[in-house]
Every structure is written in structure tokens, then in C-alpha cells.
Chain A
Amino acid sequence: MAHIDDDQLVEMLKSSNDRDRGYRLLLAKYGSRLYWHIRRIVVAHEDAEDVMQETAINILAGIDKFEQKSSLSTWVYRIATNEALRLLRRRTGFFQSIDSLGETLVEKLEDEAGVDADAAELLFQKALLQLPTQQRLAFNLRYYDEMPYEEIAKVTGKNVNTLKTNYHFAVSKIKDYLKENSL
């Protein structure tokens, strides 16, 4: 795919003639990153597919409301994050927090990884799934997606200082978990 910058994409998305083409190019540019971002949150492949579909629908439905107050990538990440968290909430009981899904997600991780999975990679992912959702989210966006805190703040709706604290605690807990469970 030829490189196309976000300004050109926005221009296409706002034009009634080029909208569909712009939308396909937008997903071609960010879709793969969004999929892996979603997958890291919901873990199971089938869930990630469902969330990816909902994200694609919501992006298309929201194009008219996109006012360029944030960057295009922030906007699509925000939609994907909200959809992934919505799916996790559906999996919880009435008074249950999504933070309590850690064990369930670890089981899914083991199912998905299979017996041939790299032990270190598996342990690292288990360490991540012990974290509260907000810390896990801050860690994922910072470590895997290499987003600046200001952008993560726009994706998650949290303030920058809270996110820095979340990331700091996440790193510390992951290190402790790896120490305690090292092979």
C-alpha cells in the first residue's frame, strides 16, 4: 500500500465521493495494529475478531462526528479500546469488576498459546494479566504501541500523571511477578 498520511485520509473521509476508499485505506493503515491492541486486551482470538468487527462498524458510523480534535490514530485506538473493554464488561457479573477477569484471561491465554509456546513469553503475558485493567492498558499502549503519554491520555480519557503512575506500578508488578515465577 502506498504511504498515505492522516491529513489525506481525513480529507478523503470527509468527502462523499472518496469516503469508502478513504475508510478502506484507514483500516489498511491501522487495522493490523488495532487488532493486536484488541487481542492484548481480550486475549482470545474469537473475541478479538468480534471486537475488531464492532470497531470497524463504529469507525465508519463515527466518521461524520470526527472533528479532528485528536489525531486519526488516537481516535481509532479510542474506539477499539472502548469496544474491547465493553466486551470484557459483558463477561463480568452484575457487581463484578473487569479486573476480576484475570484468571479467566490467563486460562484463555494458555488455550491460545498451546503447548509449544515460548515459556518466557507466556510468563510475561501472565504477569500482564495479573494487573488491574487500567495499568495493563497504560502498559500495553506505552510498551507495545510506543505511544506518548499525551496520546494515551486521549485514548483512555485519563490524565497524564495518572498514566505515568499506572505504567510505573505496572512495570514494578511485572518485574516482581517474573522474579517470583521465574523458571
Chain B
Amino acid sequence: MKADFESVGKRLPYVEPEGYVEDLVERCATRALHSRKATPSSDSSRLPRRIGIAVTSMAAALLAAAIIFPAITKSINPDRVTVETIAQSQTLGDVLSTLSNDELAAIEYYSFDEMPTSDYDDSEE
């Protein structure tokens, strides 16, 4: 065989039956026309669908955040104690009972007369 491909010409080593390709093309055209008619894709029909997708996505994201965020917080600080929690659960007596005698002695209580008053106190002297 010559090394020149021109001698082979443009034939391919396979053929399709007579008229097959023309029929295939015709079928493809018909299907394309049918599929276009079955699924009209005008902008007016696409817009509400896009809005729907955007709203659904946002709602899903918010829901996920609402579920995941507290779960993450709880896993990071399972014994989370806030100032409010202490104030609600411990009386002054409970707090004072945890102090040593020296610490108690170091606390200087105000006498009634020494109680600080507000600068905006409207009582008459």
C-alpha cells in the first residue's frame, strides 16, 4: 500500500444503508421541533420559575442555618453558663458561702447613709 492517503480517497471503512442518514436527519429535525413545542422556553415562563428557585434556596439556607448554628454552638460549649444563669440560680447567700473568712472580712459594706445616690435624684434635701 502506498504511504499516500490520497490513494485511499475519502471513503470510510463503514457505510450506512442507502437513505439511512437522510432518514436520521429528518427524525432529528422532527424530534427537535416537537421538543421545542413541548417545552416552550419564553422568558415570561422562565422568570417565575427562577424566582421560585431563588426563594426556595433562600428558605432552605435559612432553615439549615437555624438547625446547624445552635447545634454547633452547643457542641463547642456544652456547659455554657451565662451571667444571667448564675444570677437566676445562685442567691447572694450562696455566693457569700463560697468565700473564705478573710475574703468576707475584706468586703466593705456600705452603711445606709453612704449609699450612693443618683445624680438625677429629684428628692428634696
Residues of chain A at the chain B interface (Cβ within 8 Å):
20, 23-24, 27-28, 31-32, 34-36, 39-40, 45, 49, 52-53, 55-57, 59-61, 109, 112-114, 117-125, 127, 143-144, 171, 174-175, 178-179, 182-183
Q: Which B residues touch A31, using CB under 8 A? A: 21-22, 24-26, 28-29
Query: Which of B8, B13, B33, B36 has the most C-beta atoms of chain A within 10 angstroms of its own C-beta?
Result: B13
Is B53 in contact with chain A by the CB < 8 A criterion? Answer: no
Q: Give the CA-CA distance A79 to B107 in the complex, in Å.
A: 88
Is B5 in contact with chain A by the CB < 8 A criterion? Answer: yes
Known contacts A35-B25, A120-B1; decide if A113 and B14 are in contact (CB<8 Å).
yes
- Extra 7 A-B pairs, beta carbons < 8 Å, given A35-B25, A39-B12, A61-B36: A28-B25, A32-B21, A45-B16, A49-B24, A57-B36, A124-B5, A144-B10
The listed residue (B2, B5, B22, B35) touching A57 by CB distance below 8 A is B35
How close is B40's CB to chain A, nearest CB, in angstroms? 12
Question: Which residue of chain A has the shortest Cβ distance to B33 in the bound complex?
Answer: A20
The listed residue (B2, B7, B11, B25) touching A27 by CB distance below 8 A is B25
Known contacts A117-B14, A118-B11, A122-B13; decide if A56 and B3 are in contact (CB<8 Å).
no
Question: Which residue of chain B has the shortest Cβ distance to A181 in the bound complex?
Answer: B1
User: Is the CB–CB distance between A112 and B28 below 8 Å?
Assistant: no
Q: Which B residues touch A49, using CB under 8 A? A: 24
User: Is the CB–CB distance between B13 and A118 below 8 Å?
Assistant: yes
Instruction: Sample 23 A-B pairs with CB under 8 A, ordered by A number.
Output: A27-B28, A31-B21, A32-B21, A34-B25, A36-B21, A39-B12, A45-B14, A52-B24, A52-B25, A56-B25, A56-B29, A56-B31, A60-B36, A109-B13, A112-B14, A114-B14, A118-B13, A120-B7, A123-B1, A175-B3, A175-B5, A182-B1, A182-B3
User: Is the CB–CB distance between B13 and A60 below 8 Å?
Assistant: no
User: Is the CB–CB distance between B8 and A27 below 8 Å?
Assistant: no
Residues of chain B at the chain A interface (Cβ within 8 Å):
1-5, 7-8, 10-14, 16, 21-22, 24-26, 28-29, 31-33, 35-36, 41
Q: Which B residues touch A40, using CB under 8 A? A: 12
Q: Is the interface of A mostly helix, strand, loop or mixed?
A: helix
Total contacts A-B at CB 8 Å: 98
User: Is the CB–CB distance between B1 and A178 below 8 Å?
Assistant: yes
Q: Which B residues touch A36, using CB under 8 A? A: 12, 21
Q: Give the CA-CA distance A48 to B123 in the complex, in Å.
A: 98
User: Is the CB–CB distance between B13 and A113 below 8 Å?
Assistant: yes
User: Is the CB–CB distance between B1 and A183 below 8 Å?
Assistant: yes
Q: Give the CA-CA distance A55 to B28 in the complex, in Å.
A: 9
Q: Give the CA-CA distance A94 to B1 in the complex, in Å.
A: 40
How close is B48's CB to chain A, nearest CB, in angstroms? 21
Known contacts A61-B36, A182-B1; decide if A24 and B29 are in contact (CB<8 Å).
yes
How close is B11's CB to chain A, nearest CB, in angstroms? 5
Q: Give the CA-CA distance A178 to B4 in the complex, in Å.
A: 8
